[in-house]
Amino acid sequence: MDNQQPKKKVLSCIQPTGTPTLGNYFGALKNWKLMGEECDAAFAVADLHAITVRQDPKEFKKQIMQMYALLLALGLDEQNNIVFVQSHVPEHSQLAWILNCYTQFGEMSRMTQFKDKSIKHADNVNVGLFSYPVLMAADILLYKADYVPVGVDQKQHLEITRDIAERFNGIYGNVFTVPEPYIGKKGAKITSLQDPTKKMSKSDTNTKSFISILDKPETIVKKMKSAVTDSEACVRFDEENKPGVSNLMTIYSCCTGASFEEIENEFASKGYGDFKQKVGEAVVEELRPVQQEMERIMKDEKYIKERMAQNAEIASRIAHRTLEKVMKKIGYVQI
């Protein structure tokens, strides 16, 4: 008799706004494949979330295609995972409206990300920006996700998802799975190459501060060579006193698997020039398979759209079952 426990369900979404950085790759994306092997995982390109900020239509379409191709290039294959585009599954918007009516205004107004983004985009403080966490709750609850990987900036959103689910369940019975934060293998924290006290960000105005997953090899090496270090000329891990060097050591360790002690020994008699060159080359080799696979996929738009359609159908089938149950509980007429 097979007593194997069913895999836990996990959902993870990424917005198609700009190309992810090396920080995103080591902090999350590289671990998604492992997560997809361990769990019954669904991955989504969160394009509905992206329009709280005005997008250029032509560029937006291109970014959605690119992000979807990147998820496929990471090896999130259809045998184990669902990889879909959020807007292709209308149940997300439908459930979001319903959940809006089970979410309190005061709860939304306390969301710190709304306050931060309202200041950043003061000319476009729209209702979508305000109710963004409710759409996120709909994303999660539709797929009965047991776990959701969340960063520090999204922790509050998972908490409100749990509150909404528990409130709805309290009224109508056990409808939603109440999700927990996913604690998988901890991703490495990669900081800015120009200011190692800040995290690496694709929105940084200084392009030398971050490495994009799609940067060309020569660009990667050049950016590494201009990375901030210190005047000691000693490769030693010390985050407090040598943040720049420690950041480069973390990157090198992620690429090669070498420990900090091994890295210190490898570069014991060498200067920062040699060290930065080696780190740059290691990053190039780490990203090469992903870049090559993505380039191959992006040449075939028909294939990308076929995969989108196939996965949207699977995702919609799961999502519709949840939505139907919700609507039946509320009292909507079923046809």
Residue carrying structure tokens 């669902």: 82
Distance CA 66, CA 173 (A): 41
The answer to whether the CB of 95 falls within 8 A of the CB of 86 is no
Q: Which residue in 199, 208, 225, 329 is the catalytic one? A: 199
185 is a catalytic site residue = no
Q: Look up 9 and say whether it is catalytic.
A: no
- Residue of 144, 202, 208, 225 marked catalytic: 202
In this structure, the strands spanning 9-14 and 180-181 are: unpaired
What is the spatial distance between Cα 194 and Cα 231, in angstroms, rounded to a whole number? 15
Q: How far is CA 304 from CA 25, 55, 109, 236, in A?
A: 21, 22, 39, 45
120 is catalytic: no
Tokens of 140: 């999660």
Smallest CA-to-CA distance from 45 within 320, 323, 307 is with 307
Contact assessment for residue 78 and residue 28, using Cβ atoms and an 8 Å cutoff: no
List residues with catalytic annotation: 117, 199, 202
